[in-house]
Amino acid sequence: MKTFKRILKYLAITITALILWIFIIVSGTMNGWFHTPITKDSNTESYMNAVQEEINLQFVGNYAMAIIKEGKVETEKFHTAGKTVDRNTVFQVASLSKWVSAFGIMKLVEDGVLDLDAPVSTYLTRWQLPPSEFDNDKVTVRKLLSHTAGLTDGLGYSGFKPGISPQAIEESLSKASDADDGISGAVQVGIEPGTAFKYSGGGYTLLQLLVEEVSGQSFASYMKQNIFEPLGMKHSSYVWEDLSEFQLAEFYNVDETKAPHFSYTSLAATSLYTSLSDLELFFQVFLKGENNEPIGRKILSPKTLKSMRVPHASTMGMDIWGLGTILYTTTDNGDFIIGHDGKSTPPINTAVRLNPETGNGIIILETGNPLIATQLASEWVFWKTGKVDITLFSMLKDQMVSIAGIGAISIIILILVIAIFRYRKRKISI
């Protein structure tokens, strides 16, 4: 009986030690204890040198980057494996499109055309969500913007090769023929709306249809007339035909060969074309200008802009999503560093990090590498603030699991050795 009690005691000690160790490792990873900044120097030149080192180590087709300091462009950087790119070169930006699309949708909300919390079905005539075991009327604009509408499409669009016409939007919502491999491509409710975060490209395609229904315009025309033209974003559109007079950044595969230019039905989710110079203008909208006046350009009010970064979804206790806006990490005064990333195949990787309190931020547009924009933008956040944002945390997960595993094995061995030693010592004394 005494032996059994001792076994239970050591088992309890082991479990407690393992839980405490895992908590320490997860917390340590979230707080950057095991991560070294990209550079130890605080000046921008040092960060730019570190960026160049990363570009030299990895293949990058085209690269355009801006560092923003207190709301103004501090420096820009460009790199190309082919035709020279500059601040006005047009890039396709993948899912970064969603952030800009959400801005346009929030204008319809502010103008009273859309109700954030009304069922989207009340606005739709061309297509409806298929029946489900859940209440589809709980699918609202708010939930679609924040990926909490319960949609299980998992899209991911691969796009259409040159010479292949994109699907009609209604067909794509029913079954996207360009869905990424392993994805059903059907936009439907598979989770109770409002109960969980589930990233949904299809949700933004549904919002695209919604904009067309209530505005009476194509989505691209609505965004051009109501967002891009008022902001002076002359290199931006959701369809390439509007911008064909400008230079388009070349596309590359990971093996450094040239890749084709894909087109999309899912404009709002993944098909924005824009330039570094235009995103610098868009960046300004979220900041304060001279005399503390908001630079909303009279498109969205400061109240609406603030509402876009109110938390609507979380994971592992971290707030991660607002209304079309990724919440990367908290600021010193309890706000959030915001923005969005984009990633697609052939490799496009884009990233924006924006601190609305300080006016500091980074914009990266890139082709040919699947992760370098996200990596360097998140490294910028850690370098600037000492905080691990949600994408850097994701990149550190393998390291975290490895450290946790080694530590857990060590704890088990240590306690086992102690238990055996004490058992033998007890037997000798007897």
Q: What is the pLDDT of residue 298?
A: 79
Each residue of 223-281: pLDDT tens digit? Answer: 999 999 999 999 999 999 999 999 999 999 999 999 999 999 999 999 999 999 999 99
Average confidence (pLDDT) over 369-398: 93
Q: What is the pLDDT of residue 302?
A: 87
Q: In angstroms, rounded to a whole number, what is the distance separating the alpha carbons of residues 9 and 16? A: 11
- Per-residue pLDDT for 3 more than 80? no
- Per-residue pLDDT for 5 more than 80? no
Q: What is the pLDDT of residue 315?
A: 86
pTM here is 0.92
First to last CA, the chain: 17
* Inter-helix orientation angle 201-215/97-110, to 10°: 40
Q: Which helix (H) or strand (E) holds 275?
A: strand 273-275
Q: Where are the domains of the chain?
A: 2-34+398-429, 44-395
Least confident of 32-36, 54-58, 367-371: 32-36
Q: What is the pLDDT of residue 293?
A: 52
Q: Name the token pair of 94.
A: 């993948």
For residue 203, cis peptide bond before it (omega within 30 degrees of 0): no
Residue pair 176/167 in contact (Cβ under 8 Å)? The answer is yes
Q: What is the pLDDT of residue 74?
A: 97
- Per-residue pLDDT for 290 more than 80? no
Least confident of 94-103, 185-194, 199-208, 416-425: 416-425
Q: In which band, very low, low, confident or very high, does the pLDDT at 139 lie, cut at 50, 70 and 90? A: very high
* Domain at 44-395: CATH code: 3.40.710.10
Each residue of 343-355: pLDDT tens digit? Answer: 999 999 999 999 9
Strands 361-367 and 72-80: unpaired
Q: In angstroms, rounded to a whole number, what is the distance separating the alpha carbons of residues 303 and 279? A: 21
- Per-residue pLDDT for 292 more than 70? no
Q: What is the pLDDT of residue 393?
A: 86
Average confidence (pLDDT) over 183-204: 96
Q: What is the pLDDT of residue 203?
A: 98
Strands 348-354 and 361-367: antiparallel
What Rg value do the Cα atoms of the chain yield, rounded?
25
- Per-residue pLDDT for 296 more than 80? no
Neighbour count for residue 32 (Cβ, 10 Å): 17
Residue pair 204/146 in contact (Cβ under 8 Å)? The answer is no
Q: What is the pLDDT of residue 429?
A: 65
Q: Which long-range contacts (CB under 8 A, 24 or more apart) does 348-352 make?
A: 348/91, 348/92, 348/93, 348/94, 348/251, 349/94, 349/373, 349/374, 350/91, 350/93, 350/94, 350/96, 351/96, 351/376, 351/377, 351/378, 352/96, 352/99, 352/279, 352/283, 352/377
Q: What is the pLDDT of residue 143?
A: 98
